[in-house]
């Protein structure tokens, strides 16, 4: 039985945080190790440029950081193809062809695009590359004939637009492209809240724990976490719902019975915030310490990391170029074959 092709990736705009880890990185490693999938994992530097074009150095610097995080969590270049988006020329050409298969009004209706435009305060000064990102994403997916695309729930509209473009292309030119399916994180783990209780953990909000944070930094961040503002004294009953410490324990602590015991104690009074934060610190450090150590080891030889990315990009380039050739055959554009 042939392996299912999986495409996933991240924008290089800084180091990755534990939200990325829970939302997608752990699942990528599981897929890689299962032997049932052929994973292509992209560092989406071209996508990052759509709203960072005036700061290309940020993207170049962040590319290495993302690569280190990938390797640190256990992604293996021998089992997964790790590659850099800008190094695959076929993606840009596929994007150009697909742009003719979608209307401006359809892009404007995309809920994810609308939400991100509002979040970034573009108003009507929207970079064209950012506006047409769903089309570029379709090129990324179809170039590798991905069967599966792991995404967060908020990315479902983007994936649906990719499926529409695939169906349109195949209806006009023949069945060349593969229509992808989404793989979504387990309920409640698609997005974890920030340290401040904000629904989203992000670099821009300054409320994130990074995979590369050292133990002292991790401790300071955990001790600053939002709990229950009405839980002033140890003996006071506390609220578990919306309490970020317990949200993180639900996600990271494998001892479910222990977490339930702590919740009951907190609800009835007699458990202080400092104590549960110290316990969470132990849980998080047990999870992140091996990742931190592997990251530091890979960081001692950055040229080797770049060599891994080049080798992966070379492999990805061969696959994407073959798909592009098939697309141009179907469209009748390979004039000189």
Listing DSSP states for 238-270 in one string gives ---TT-HHHHHHHHH-S-HHHHHHHHHHHHHS-
pLDDT at residue 190 tops 60: no
Does 326 share its domain with 235? no
- Find the largest Cα–Cα distance for the chain: 81
pLDDT of 30: 92
Q: CA-to-CA distance for 201 and 183, rounded, in angstroms?
A: 21
Cα torsion 76, 86, 10, 311 to 10°: value is: 0
CA distance 27 to 8: 11
In the chain, how many domains are there?
2
In a domain, 210, yes or no: no
Q: What confidence category does residue 24 fall into, taking pLDDT thresholds of 50, 70 and 90?
A: confident
In terms of domains, do 79 and 173 share one?
A: yes
- Whether 319 and 225 share a structural domain: no
Q: Tokens 């955990």 identify what position? A: 222
- Distance (Å) of CA 165 to CA 105, 123, 177, 226: 14, 26, 10, 43
Residues 270 and 178 in one domain: no
CB atoms within 10 A of CB 2: 6
CATH code, 321? 3.40.50.620
Identify which of 67, 100, 160 has the alpha carbon closest to the alpha carbon of residue 333: 100
Question: What torsion, rounded to 10 degrees, do the Cα atoms 12, 15, 17, 19 define?
Answer: 0
What pLDDT, on a 0 to 100 scale, did the predictor assign at position 188? Answer: 55
* 281-298 pLDDT per residue, tens: 999 999 999 999 999 999
What is the band of 55 on the pLDDT scale with cuts at 50, 70, 90? very high
pLDDT score at 202: 80
Regarding whether 181 and 249 lie in a shared domain, the answer is no
Residues 120 and 52 in one domain: yes
In this structure, the answer to whether residues 33 and 90 fall within a common structural domain is: yes
Give the E-state strand segments of the chain in sequence order.
4-10, 37-43, 81-84, 148-150, 181-183
So what's the pLDDT on residue 284?
A: 97
Classify residue 184 as exposed, middle or buried by CB count within 10 Å of its CB (0-12, 13-18, 19+). middle
Judgement on whether residues 220 and 149 belong to the same structural domain of the protein? no
The C-alpha atoms of residue 193 and residue 247 are separated, in whole angstroms, by 8
Judge contact between 25 and 73, C-beta under 8 A.
yes
Residue pair 195/244 in contact (Cβ under 8 Å)? The answer is yes
Range of the domain at 134: 4-191+302-331
In the three-class reduction of DSSP (H, G, I as helix; E, B as strand; rest coil), residue 192 is classed as: coil
Residue 138, both tokens: 């379709």
Strand segments, DSSP code E, in 173-301 are 181-183
pLDDT in tens, 197-223: 877 788 777 899 999 999 999 999 999
pLDDT band per the 50, 70, 90 thresholds, residue 111: confident
Please state, in angstroms and rounded to a whole number, the distance separating the CA atoms of residues 262 and 197: 20
Domain presence at residue 206: no
CA distances from 32 to 26, 82, 319 (A): 10, 12, 19
Q: Would you say residue 187 has pLDDT above 90?
A: no
Residues whose CB falls within 8 Å of the CB of residue 311, separated by 6 or more in sequence, listed in order: 77
Q: Is residue 197 part of a domain?
A: no
Residue 140 has pLDDT above 80, yes or no: yes
Phi, psi (5° rounding) for residue 4? -80, 135
Distance between CA 79 and CA 156 in Å, rounded?
27
Is 326 within a domain?
A: yes
CATH number of the domain to which 257 belongs: 1.10.240.10
What is the bridge-based pairing of β-strands 81-84 and 37-43? Answer: parallel
If asked whether residues 183 and 279 sit together in one domain, one would say: no
Decide if 201 is inside a domain: no
Give the model's pLDDT for residue 186. 66
DSSP 8-state symbol, 179: P
């Amino acid at each position: 039985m042939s392996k299912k092709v999986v495409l996933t990736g991240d924008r290089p705009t800084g180091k990755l945080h534990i939200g990325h880890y829970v939302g997608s990185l752990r699942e990528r490693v599981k897929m890689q190790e299962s032997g049932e999938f052929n994973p292509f994992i992209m560092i989406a530097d071209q996508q990052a440029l759509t709203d960072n074009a005036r700061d290309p150095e940020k993207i170049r610097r962040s590319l290495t950081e993302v690569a280190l995080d990938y390797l640190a969590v256990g992604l293996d270049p021998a089992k997964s193809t790790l590659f850099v988006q800008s190094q695959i020329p076929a993606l840009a050409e596929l994007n150009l062809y697909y742009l003719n298969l979608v209307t401006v009004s359809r892009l404007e209706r995309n809920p994810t695009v609308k939400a991100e435009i509002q979040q970034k305060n573009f108003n009507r000064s929207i970079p064209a590359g950012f506006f047409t990102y769903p089309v570029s994403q379709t090129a990324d997916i179809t170039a590798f004939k991905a069967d599966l695309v792991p995404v967060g729930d908020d990315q479902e509209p983007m994936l649906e637009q990719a499926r529409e473009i695939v169906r349109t292309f195949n209806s006009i030119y023949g069945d060349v492209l593969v229509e992808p399916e989404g793989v979504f994180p387990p309920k409640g783990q698609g997005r974890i809240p920030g340290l401040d209780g904000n629904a989203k953990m992000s670099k821009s909000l300054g409320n994130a724990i990074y995979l590369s944070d050292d133990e002292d930094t991790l401790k300071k961040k955990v001790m600053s976490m939002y709990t229950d503002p009405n839980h002033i004294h140890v003996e006071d009953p506390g609220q578990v719902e919306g309490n970020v410490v317990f949200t993180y324990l639900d996600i990271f602590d494998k001892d479910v019975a222990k977490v339930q015991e702590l919740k009951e104690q907190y609800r009835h009074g007699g458990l202080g915030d400092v104590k549960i934060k110290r316990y969470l610190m132990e849980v998080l450090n047990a999870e992140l310490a091996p990742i931190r150590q592997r990251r530091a080891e890979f960081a001692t030889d950055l040229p080797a990391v770049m060599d891994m990315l080049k080798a992966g990009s070379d492999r990805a380039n061969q696959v994407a170029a073959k798909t592009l050739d098939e697309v141009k055959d179907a469209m009748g554009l390979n004039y000189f074959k």
